[in-house]
Amino acid sequence: MITGFKIKMPSEKFFSERIKKAQKFVDSEVLRRSDPYIPFKTGMLRDSGILGTKIGSGRIRYLAPYAKKQYYKGRSSGKRGRYWVKRAMLAHGDAIASGAQKIIDGE
């Protein structure tokens, strides 16, 4: 007759580290996958996203003073144009999510 049992659960720190690693993956992948969609003239808009985003924070931020105007009202030229993060996530969001899930699962 079983009177008790013990389950060894991974520590909170163990899960916390995986989640942090997954968040860093998501942030860097969103920047990388958004790159072909960002309007490009001098490259400053793209670079302002790299400089303005703290990888692992969960927030993608573009520092260029004209970034907001370009994001909502800019002109499109082929693949590049408005709503670049949204369009990149529609195209690559599933791959980013599955990659993050693999990190969390420890694969």
Region for residue 58 given its phi and psi (left: phi exceeds 0; alpha: psi -120 to 50; beta: otherwise): left
What is d(CA 78, CA 37) in angstroms, rounded to the nearest whole number?
Answer: 9
| pLDDT-based confidence at residue 2 (cuts at 50, 70, 90) | low
Q: What is the pTM of this model?
A: 0.83
Q: pLDDT tens for residues 8-19?
A: 656 667 778 889
Q: Which residue has the tokens 């520590």?
A: 11
The predicted pLDDT at position 15 comes to 72
What is d(CA 56, CA 22) in angstroms, rounded to the nearest whole number?
Answer: 8
Average pLDDT along the chain: 89
The residue-averaged pLDDT of 60-81 equals: 93
